[in-house]
Amino acid sequence: MSGSEAAFEQDVVWCDEHIGYRFRDPALLRLALTHRSTDHSDKPDMPLTASGAVQHNERLEFLGDAVLDLVISDALFHSRPDDDEGSLSAFRSGLVNTRALSHLAVGLDLGPRLRMGKGEEQSGGRNKTSILGNALEAVFGAIYLDGGYEAVSEVIFRLFKTRMDEEGPHPSRENRKSRLQEYLQSRGLPLPKYEVIATDGPPHARIFRVRCLVPDQEPVEGEGGSKRQAEQRAAGSLLQALEAGGAFDDQHP
């Protein structure tokens, strides 16, 4: 087996183990993992367009973006019958924005699987938020073409279920980090900073303790089963204290 064939097989194994999907046409997965910076001299095994350029993942990203929006919208529509259009849109945007997708891609160890040009790789392309998020969308697009809507919806729902559950029943009211940020911004104050101060428990049941810091205020801590959940709880506690005490209002009417 050649080096390129071995890498190709490793991609299939990675997707099976991390994404939970086995491609019938692995060429779709290879395309999804190919960044536009790749050229033929970097990866001579890659398929070419009619113009001689290496095929890359942007068309699959376009498709995957639409598929992801549909799957998440479908899930939210049926799981949150009491939410209005505004709440559903806010929830969806919090789940599928570029930063959230990039964070998920890091957890799936997607970066090392990407094919890209030497210049892009040397500039840290494997860790760039936009590249990781776009590549994950391309993978979703490839799964849709390979297995159809049912297959990709199962994958997406499984990958996003934890985040959907963490948001709570009413994200428009419960996004405490956003509410704290809005409170501070409306008074022309610096945004809060969050730092992890402790991580306890076994790998399958981690407990994170996070400190929320705002100038001229006592630090507030929060705990949760994820860093994000702990940040939300710390932000909520600080926001409650600020709103109850009317902090900053005398200095910033």
Which residues are the active-site residues? 65, 137
Q: Strands, DSSP E only, in 28-175? A: none
Which amino acid, one-letter code, is at 145? L
**Dist. CA 137–CA 101, nearest whole Å:** 8
Residues 90, 65: contact at Cβ < 8 Å?
Answer: no
- Asked if 136 and 108 touch (Cβ cutoff 8 Å), the reply is yes
Q: Give the pairing type, strands 207-213 and 220-224.
A: antiparallel
- Rounded Cα–Cα distance for residues 16 and 39 (Å): 27
Helix (H, G, I), strand (E, B) or coil at 223: strand
